[in-house]
Amino acid sequence: MNLSFSYLTDPKEFAHASFIFIETKPVLKFLVLLVNIAVVFILILLSIKGYKVGLEPQEWFMAGMIILWLFFRRKFNRWIFLKKFNKQIFSQQTLNLNFSRNGVIWFGEKFTKGEAHWTQIKYVLQVKNGFILAISPTQFLWLPERVFEAAQQKQTLIDLMNEMNVKIKPCSQWSC
C-alpha cells in the first residue's frame, strides 16, 4: 500500500503546526500551567494591594504584562512563528510525501530529502485540518487535510498508521 501526496507549503499552516507541535508537549504544558498559576496569584495580590493602597507605575506595568500573558500568549507566539516562516526559503514550495508500510519519505525542491520508518514516528496529532507527524522531539511533518482527494484516502492513511501501531492523538480543538 502506497499513498503519495503533494502540496504547496503555506507559512501560516507551518507556523500553526509548529505552535501546536510545541504546545502539546507534556513538559511545556506543565510549565505553562505553573506559570499561569503563579501569575494569577500575583495578579490577585496586585489587585488586593491596588484596592487597599494603590499601585506604583511598575506594578501597573506588571499587571498589564500578566494580563497580556494570560490572554494573548498564544496569539503572540503564533505571530512570531508566522514571521519566522514567512522568511524561510521553503515557503510556498511543493512538498511531496510518500507513505508506505516501510514508513514516510518526504522531498521537495527546497527541502532536504528525508525518511522515517514507522517506529521512528513517536505519535501523530490529528487536528481539525490535518495531521502532525512527530518524528523526533524537534522535527515533525505537516500533512494538511486539503491533500486528500477523497475521504477514503484519509481513512486509508489512518488505517495504515493504526496497522503500523502509530499512536494517533486527536486534537480537535486545534487547527492550522
pTM of the model: 0.80
Could you tell me the residue range of the domain that residue 148 belongs to?
3-9+92-171
pLDDT at 158 over 90: yes
- The CA distance from 41 to 47, in Å, is 10
Per-residue model confidence as pLDDT tens digits over 114-130:
999 999 999 999 998 89
The reported pLDDT for the residue numbered 104 is 94
pLDDT at 112 over 80: yes
- The CA distance from 157 to 2, in Å, is 9
- Of the three residues 86, 119, 147, the one that is the final residue of a domain is 86
**Grid cell locating 119:** 517506529
Question: Under a CB-based contact definition with an 8 Å cutoff, are residues 58 and 42 in contact?
Answer: no
- The CA distance from 42 to 62, in Å, is 9
- Range with the poorest average pLDDT among 88-97, 100-109, 134-143: 88-97
- Of the three residues 29, 51, 86, the one that is the final residue of a domain is 86
Alpha-carbon Rg for the chain in angstroms: 21
Identify whether 53 is part of a domain: yes
Nearest to 142 by CA among 10, 3, 28: 10
By three-state DSSP, how is residue 101 classified? Answer: coil
Give the model's confidence band at 46: pLDDT under 50 very low, under 70 low, under 90 confident, else very high. very high
Identify whether 176 is part of a domain: no
- Report the domain count for the chain: 2
- Of the three residues 29, 57, 86, the one that is the final residue of a domain is 86
**Backbone phi, then psi, for 161, in 5-degree steps?**
-65, -40
pLDDT at 90 over 70: no
By three-state DSSP, how is residue 33 classified? Answer: helix
Identify whether 126 is part of a domain: yes
The reported pLDDT for the residue numbered 176 is 65
Question: Looking at the structure, do residues 23 and 81 belong to the same domain, yes or no?
Answer: yes
